[in-house]
């Protein structure tokens, strides 16, 4: 996979470097025995290789590698000082270093807390650093840094700080400027709902009028807040297009089983604007007669070279439906230690995003021959830094770095997301030198 903008490439997923760039569990496992492992880990600290900076989580994964490989902390702290300014940090170097140090600090690794504290006292992006660590570090670790920040508070605008989060909520009692900013943030208006008082019938009539196309998106958002409306099925094909695409997908999904007959019609034409919405509906609500269509959907995704999303939806659907067609979509049997997650060897391009937790969920479902009991070391050997389930709430996702370089602004590949959080046990419960257990 390559970037069209600056020519860099992911290394092959079969290499240690490529597996580490993608956040794969097997990369962490192989790094423990690779003599040159610190070099590709250092490269991952220098450039943010996440597929989607806004939802992928890689801090725990990299911090654990740093700790287990006993890499020095000082060079990571130095990256905070040496990183480019926010508006030119195209590789997100500052946020990578800060996120890793935040996790290492919580894990008790010497030098991490002191290094970040020193940066907050004299670094250019001290507000970013302070807001990041104050969300998860104990208050005594950063509360005494108030004097280092007080001179910059007056220059912060309404949207340059997360006023409703620490440290500002903690310091509001001691600084009237902070207290005023917190009060102002609480008064900000919420999402606008221009059609909140309109009856459903009036919204459906609006959606039939081409001269009201500018109102389609807010009208669809309002309809999504309400009970599923079967009357929408008569309109969705006419509405499909750029002006309503985002909200329309959500409304179609909310129709659930009501839309299954229409979904079967949409998928008969590969270029139908609602073909993918139809596949998602069949994966979630279809029956055994829809399994061949889901298998064909996997082939359709394979034929789209820029697509990395969607495999998880279809894999879960096949696991839910079961039957011969679903079983035929699985890879051939292999020894448990090397058998990857459902469909991964055949289908999922390495570096994919939302599909991975979907595959894991599919792997544990009943009804597809060959899936039963396959929660083995395979998940750990081929897994990622992602952990779905009850452990996923332990460490909140850190917000993206400032500078406006989100999914569309950064230099790098097109995006597909992955869940944003992971469990503290990923770093805190494994002794140095043990293999990674990043899988389920």
Q: What is the pLDDT along the chain (440 residues), one digit of tens a residue?
A: 334 445 678 899 889 999 999 998 899 999 998 888 899 999 999 999 998 888 888 999 999 999 999 999 999 999 999 999 999 999 999 999 999 999 999 999 999 999 999 999 999 999 999 999 999 999 999 999 999 998 888 888 777 889 999 999 999 999 999 999 999 888 777 677 889 889 999 999 999 998 998 889 899 999 989 998 888 888 888 888 756 667 888 889 999 999 999 999 999 987 888 999 999 999 999 999 999 999 999 888 888 766 667 888 898 899 898 878 777 765 554 444 333 333 333 333 444 444 455 544 444 443 333 333 332 223 333 344 433 322 322 333 333 333 333 333 343 333 333 333 232 333 333 333 333 323 32
Tell me how far apart the alpha carbons of residues 233 and 256 are, in angstroms, rounded to a whole number. 11
Phi/psi region, residue 367 (left: phi>0; alpha: psi -120 to 50; beta: rest), is left
Tell me how far apart the alpha carbons of residues 235 and 262 are, in angstroms, rounded to a whole number. 11
Query: In the chain, count of helices (H) and strands (E)?
Result: 23, 0
Q: Which of 219, 243, 213, 218 is nearest to 231 (CA)?
A: 219
Alpha carbon of 230 to those of 5, 99, 245: distances in Å?
44, 46, 19
On whether the pTM is more than 0.85, the answer is no
**Do residues 281 and 253 make contact, with C-beta atoms less than 8 angstroms apart?**
yes
**Do residues 60 and 426 make contact, with C-beta atoms less than 8 angstroms apart?**
yes
Tell me how far apart the alpha carbons of residues 15 and 188 are, in angstroms, rounded to a whole number. 49
Q: Which two tokens stand for residue 114?
A: 């002191």
Q: Which of 85, 123, 119 is nearest to 101 (CA)?
A: 119
């Amino acid at each position: 996979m390559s970037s069209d903008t600056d020519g860099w490439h992911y290394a092959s997923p079969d290499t240690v470097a490529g597996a580490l760039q993608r956040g794969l569990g097997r990369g962490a496992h192989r790094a423990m025995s690779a003599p040159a492992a610190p070099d590709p880990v250092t490269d991952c600290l220098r450039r943010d290789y996440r597929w989607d900076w806004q939802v992928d989580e890689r801090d725990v994964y990299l911090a654990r590698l740093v700790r287990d490989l006993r890499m020095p902390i000082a060079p990571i702290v130095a990256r905070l000082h040496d990183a480019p300014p926010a508006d030119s940090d195209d590789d997100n170097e500052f946020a990578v270093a800060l996120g890793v140090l935040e996790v290492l600090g919580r894990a008790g690794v010497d030098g991490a807390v002191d290094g970040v504290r020193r940066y907050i006292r004299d670094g250019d992006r001290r507000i970013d650093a302070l807001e990041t660590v104050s969300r998860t570090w104990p208050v005594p670790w950063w509360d005494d840094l108030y004097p280092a920040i007080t001179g910059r508070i007056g220059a912060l605008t309404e949207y340059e700080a997360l006023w409703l989060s620490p440290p500002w909520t903690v310091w509001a009692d001691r600084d009237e400027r902070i207290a005023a900013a917190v009060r102002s943030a609480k008064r900000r208006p919420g999402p606008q709902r221009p059609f909140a008082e309109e009856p459903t019938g009036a919204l459906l009539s609006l959606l039939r009028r081409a001269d009201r196309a500018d109102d389609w998106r807010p009208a669809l958002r309002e309809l999504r807040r309400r009970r599923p409306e079967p009357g929408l099925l008569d309109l969705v094909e006419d509405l499909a297009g750029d002006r309503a695409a985002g909200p329309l997908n959500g409304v179609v999904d909310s129709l659930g089983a009501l839309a299954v007959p229409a979904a079967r019609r949409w998928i008969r034409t590969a270029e139908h604007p609602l073909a993918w919405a139809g596949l998602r509906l069949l994966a979630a609500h279809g029956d055994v007669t829809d399994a061949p269509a889901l298998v064909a959907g996997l082939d359709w995704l394979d034929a789209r070279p820029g697509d990395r999303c969607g495999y998880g939806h279809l894999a879960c659907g096949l696991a839910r439906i079961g039957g011969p067609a679903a079983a035929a979509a699985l890879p051939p049997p292999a020894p448990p230690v090397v058998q990857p997650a459902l469909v991964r060897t055949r289908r999922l391009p390495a570096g994919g995003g939302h599909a991975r937790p979907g595959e894991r969920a599919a792997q544990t479902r009943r009804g597809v021959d060959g899936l039963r009991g396959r929660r083995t070391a395979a998940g750990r050997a081929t897994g990622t830094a992602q952990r779905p389930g009850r452990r996923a709430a332990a460490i909140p996702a850190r917000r993206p770095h400032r500078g406006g370089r989100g999914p569309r602004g950064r230099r790098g590949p097109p995006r597909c997301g992955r869940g944003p959080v992971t469990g503290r046990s990923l770093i805190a419960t494994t002794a140095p030198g043990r293999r990674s257990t990043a899988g389920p």
